[in-house]
Structures are given as structure tokens and as C-alpha cells.
């Protein structure tokens, strides 16, 4: 009888310890991320390594400007919001798929805007410090691991830093020239993202030259 009681107490202690361990620790399956873009819309975010690219609300689709603001809700294993979780430990990455681009982020260039609030919520709305391009999904990462609650967000990226070396400079111009009015309409140089690489893209290329990671 005593042994049974001790076993019961020990089991309860283990359960409480496990619950305590989960408290305040982000759960990658329960935490969720969404974009403000309507279903079926594929937003493209124009980035510059110096952070002077487009805000998420200024993302574009072939239909015009579209709000692609990302909202992340961080929950622990018990489904409780994780408040004041560090923005530095939440960031964006490109889904790794062959042939889908060379997106590159400057150090700390894709972290969340702020620590999570009392409801465990944070956003990405401010411009990123990044270059290169990507046609694959955008992955939300917490503490170095990708969310498992979704397969990534439908959000593409491009930049005047076409070659993805962390600086928009003269080395990017030959790539743009090769894509200019190309019938295959290369995504990487469609900086205005209207479906064509044409004169409308040149102002973004020109104004971006000189942008580099801090």
C-alpha cells in the first residue's frame, strides 16, 4: 500500500515537472503565423540590405499593392501565450528549395518587430535588412527551429541586390540588363513586380545601388 502511494506521488511529481518545463517555452505546433494577404494572393516584398526597402504593407502582387504583414502568436505546450518573448529569437528564413533563389539576410535583419505582447503576439511589418530573391515560401523560425503548424507562408522576396551578396552595387546591373525585357520575365529583376522587367523597375534598381548590410 505504501509503495503504491509512493508510486502515485512520484507519477504526479513527474507530470507536474513536465508541465512546468513546458510553461513559457514556445511550442512549434501550437504557435501560429499568418499574413494579412488574402487567400490566393502571392505577395512579393522588395528588400534592401540597409533596411530601406518596402514595408510589409507595401508588398506587391500582379494586382497592385498588398498588405503582407506577418502576425505570429507564440503559445507554450499548454496553449498559454508566451509574453515578452525576445524579438531576437524570432526571425524569417527562406524555404530551402533548389532553383528558388538566393535570398540573404543581414545579421538580425529579419527578426520580429517587437517582443511578444501579453497575448503572445508579435508582427513583421517594418522593412527587412536583406537582399537576393526567393520564389519559395517564407519560414517563421523560433529559437532556431521552424514552425511546424504550417508549411511556410506564401511570401516571395526580391531586391536591387540581385546577386544576393549583401550589397546592391554595380555587380547587380549586368544581371538586370540580361533580364531586361526578357520574354521569360525573370522574377529576380521584376523589382516593381508588375509581371514584366521593364522601365518601371529601373528607379528601384537605381535608388537601391549602394545599399549594404550595416
Residue 89 DSSP SS3: helix
pTM of the model: 0.89
- Judge whether residue 116 has pLDDT over 60: yes
Q: Any idea what the Cα angle at residue 91 is, between residues 17 and 86, rounded to 5°? A: 50
Give the three cell numbers for residue 115.
Answer: 517582443
Cα–chain center distance at 207: 24
For the ranges 123-127, 128-132, 196-200, the lowest mean pLDDT is seen at 196-200
8 Å CB contact between 128 and 51: yes
Q: How far is CA 125 from CA 31, 45, 49, 113, 122, in A?
A: 19, 11, 16, 7, 10
- Confidence band for 7, pLDDT divided at 50, 70 and 90: very low
Residue whose entry in the numeric block shows the C-alpha cell 516584398: 45
| Residues contacting 110, CB < 8 A, separation 6+ | 91, 92, 93, 124, 128, 129, 130
Instruction: Tell me the average pLDDT of the chain.
Output: 91
Domain ranges, ordered by start, for the chain: 24-208
Confidence at 129, pLDDT banded by 50, 70, 90: very high
Q: For residue 62, what is its C-alpha cell?
A: 500582379
Cα separation of 26 and 161, whole Å?
34
Tally helices (H) and strands (E) across the chain: 3, 12
**Of all helices (H) and strands (E), which one includes residue 23?**
none
| pLDDT tens digits for range 169-180 | 999 999 999 999
Placement of cell 513527474 in the chain: 14
Cα–Cα distance list, 33 to 64, 135, 163 (Å)? 23, 19, 29
Calculate what percentage of the chain has a pLDDT beyond 90: 84
Largest Cα separation within the chain, whole Å, is 85
Q: Is the pLDDT of residue 40 over 80?
A: yes
Q: State mean pLDDT over 83-96.
A: 98
Confidence band (pLDDT; 50, 70, 90) for 11? Answer: very low
pLDDT tens digits along 139-190: 999 999 999 999 999 999 999 999 999 999 999 999 999 999 887 779 999 9
Amino acid at each position: 500500500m505504501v509503495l503504491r502511494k509512493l508510486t502515485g506521488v512520484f507519477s504526479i511529481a513527474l507530470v507536474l515537472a513536465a508541465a512546468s518545463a513546458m510553461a513559457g517555452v514556445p511550442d512549434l505546433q501550437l504557435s501560429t503565423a499568418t499574413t494579412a494577404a488574402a487567400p490566393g494572393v502571392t505577395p512579393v516584398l522588395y528588400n534592401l540590405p540597409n533596411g530601406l526597402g518596402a514595408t510589409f504593407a507595401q508588398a506587391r502582387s500582379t494586382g497592385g499593392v498588398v498588405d503582407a504583414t506577418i502576425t505570429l502568436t507564440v503559445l507554450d505546450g499548454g496553449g498559454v501565450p508566451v509574453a515578452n518573448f525576445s524579438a531576437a529569437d524570432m526571425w524569417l528564413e527562406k524555404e530551402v528549395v533548389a532553383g528558388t533563389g538566393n535570398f540573404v539576410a543581414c545579421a538580425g535583419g529579419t527578426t520580429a518587430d517587437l517582443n511578444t505582447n501579453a497575448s503572445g503576439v508579435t508582427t513583421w511589418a517594418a522593412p527587412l535588412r536583406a537582399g537576393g530573391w526567393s520564389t519559395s515560401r517564407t519560414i517563421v523560425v523560433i529559437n532556431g527551429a521552424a514552425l511546424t503548424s504550417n508549411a511556410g507562408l506564401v511570401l516571395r522576396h526580391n531586391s536591387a541586390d540581385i546577386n544576393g551578396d549583401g550589397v546592391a552595387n554595380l555587380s547587380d546591373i549586368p544581371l538586370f540588363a540580361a533580364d531586361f525585357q526578357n520574354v521569360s520575365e525573370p522574377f529576380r529583376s521584376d523589382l516593381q513586380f508588375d509581371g514584366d522587367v521593364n522601365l518601371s523597375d529601373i528607379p528601384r534598381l537605381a535608388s537601391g545601388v549602394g545599399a549594404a548590410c550595416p
